[in-house]
Amino acid sequence: MRKICVIGVGYVGLVTGTCFADLGNQVTCVDIVADKIAKLKRGEMPIYEPGLEELVARNVAAKRLTFTTDYQAAVPGAEFIFIAVNTPPSTDGEADLQYVRMAAESISPVLSNYAIIVNKSTVPVGTGDAVAEILQERGKQAGVDFDIVSNPEFLSEGTAVYDFQQPDRVVLGAVNRDAADKVAQLYLPLRCTIMITDLRTAEMIKYASNAFLATRISFINEIATVCEKLGADVKEVAAGMGMDRRIGRAFLNAGAGYGGSCFPKDVKALTWMAEVNGCHPQLLRAVMEINRDMRRQVVAKLRGLLGNLRGKTIALWGLAFKPNTDDVREAASLDIIHVLQTEGAKIRAYDPVAVETARRVTKDVVFCADAYSTAAGADALVLITEWNEFKQLDMGRVAAALKQKILIDGRNIYEPERMRECGFTYRGIGRGY
pLDDT number for residue 142:
61
Find the mean pLDDT for residues 131-160.
85
Catalytic residue status for 279: no
Domains and CATH numbers, the chain: 3-197 (3.40.50.720), 212-427 (3.40.50.720)
Region class of 32: left (phi > 0), else alpha (psi between -120 and 50), else beta: alpha
For residue 97, what pLDDT band results from cuts at 50, 70 and 90? Answer: confident
pLDDT digits (tens, 9 = 90+) for 272-325: 999 999 999 999 999 999 999 999 999 999 999 999 999 999 999 999 999 999
pLDDT number for residue 123:
86
> In 355-380, which positions are buried (b, 16+ CB within 10 angstroms) versus exposed (e)?
bebbeeebeebebbeebeebbeebbb
pLDDT digits (tens, 9 = 90+) for 26-59: 999 999 999 999 999 999 999 999 999 999 999 9
Average pLDDT of the residues of the chain:
95
pLDDT digits (tens, 9 = 90+) for 194-242: 999 999 999 999 999 999 999 999 999 999 999 999 999 999 999 999 9
Find the mean pLDDT for residues 368-375.
98
Whether the per-residue pLDDT at 396 is higher than 90: the answer is yes
pTM for the model: 0.93
Q: Which residues, listed in sequence order, are joined to residue 380 by a DSSP beta bridge?
A: 314
**Closest CA relative to residue 28, chosen from 64, 72, 79, 55:** 64
Find the mean pLDDT for residues 357-367.
97
pLDDT digits (tens, 9 = 90+) for 329-356: 999 999 999 999 999 999 999 999 999 9
pLDDT number for residue 215:
98
pLDDT number for residue 18:
98
Catalytic option among 5, 227, 262, 368: 262
Share of the chain above pLDDT 90, in %: 89
261/357 Cα distance (integer angstroms): 14
Q: Which residues, listed in sequence order, are joined to residue 426 by a DSSP beta bridge?
A: 407
pLDDT number for residue 181:
98
